[in-house]
Chain A
Amino acid sequence: MAKFIQHQLFYPHPPEIVWEYLTDPELMALWLMKSEFRPVVGHEFQFRTKPIADLDFDGVFYCEVLEVVPFKRLSYSWRFGPGDARPLNNSIVNWTLTEKDNGTELLLVHNGFEKEVYMLPIFGSMEEGWLKNMHKIQQLLNTTTNGTAPA
């Protein structure tokens, strides 16, 4: 059972370029979401997306920059909830960039969801589904690193 969300991809660009896309609000808006992000520890910002009624989610991610190591590491808190000033759920988004084979290996780990949730034995029953997911990611990853990413 995965205790967090993890994606790893290889991009044939130096970390400096990938870093720009992770930290420049204009470039971020092209692939992630609009925001007033600044790569400064303690800076608070929001991402906005469509609300999801099923998940009781108002469509706002409340973030605060936690760590900035230029071209190497970036992390921000990622809180979300139903709105109406009701309590938010905690989580953390972590980016790690590693220079490799004339490109950058980008690792995303989204973790820090309410602690110990995934330690509950009942989560074991979901293990199979998650393993399948991880295999899918692995496949994607392989096609990506081979430079023949599917459209």
Chain B
Amino acid sequence: MEQHRLDAFQVIADPSRRQILHLLSKDSLTINSLAENFDMSRPAVSKHIKVLYNAGFISIQDIGRERHCILKQDGFNELHEWLAYYDAFWGSKLKKLETLLNDKLNKK
């Protein structure tokens, strides 16, 4: 169990998890076929998959006896929200700076 739900940046900060996302961006894969791409044990791979699943980066579908991992948009949305936040944040701060500087100019 994850003690805390990791945020999107923390989730993708791990190289193995980024590689899993890269692999899944090409095709959906079973947990077993994903594990073949890594030197680590299958339980270790499963743990990363669980983190990705909890953060909304992938969904898991049971087809027959296999568990298939599929890329999901939700987790990526959180990253996008952060970037959108900072974009708006700096936009508004720089506007404020502009107003201040303009006032300064007008007072001269």
Contacts and interface: CB of A to CB of B under 8 A. Distances in A.
Whether chains A and B associate is: yes
Interface of A: 2, 5, 7, 9, 11-13, 17-18, 21, 27, 30-32, 52, 54-56, 81-82, 84, 86-87, 89, 106, 108, 110, 113-114, 116-117, 120-123, 125-126, 129, 133, 137, 140, 144, 149
Interface of B: 4-5, 7, 9-10, 12-13, 18, 21-22, 25-26, 71, 73, 76, 78-87, 90-91, 93-102, 104-105
Nearest to A129: B80
A110 B25 contact: no
Contact of A31 (B5, B85, B96): B96
Contact of B9 (A114, A120, A125, A133): A114
Given A120-B25, A122-B73, A149-B98, A82 B7 contact: yes
Contact of B93 (A17, A32, A116): A32
Given A55-B7, A125-B73, 18 more contacts: A5-B87, A5-B90, A7-B90, A9-B94, A13-B105, A21-B97, A31-B100, A52-B85, A56-B5, A82-B7, A89-B7, A108-B94, A114-B12, A120-B22, A121-B26, A126-B76, A137-B91, A149-B98
B90 A86 contact: no
A87 B83 contact: no
A85 to B, nearest CB: 11
Contacts of A106: 94
Contacts of A117: 9, 12, 18, 79
Contacts of A125: 73
A135 to B, nearest CB: 13
Q: Which of A2, A54, A114 has the most CB of B within 10 A?
A: A114
B9 to A, nearest CB: 4
Given A56-B7, A114-B9, A114-B12, A5 B86 contact: yes
A12 B102 CA distance: 8
A122 B72 CA distance: 9
B83 A5 contact: yes
Contact of B81 (A27, A54, A84): A54
Contact of B7 (A17, A81, A113): A81
A114 B82 contact: no
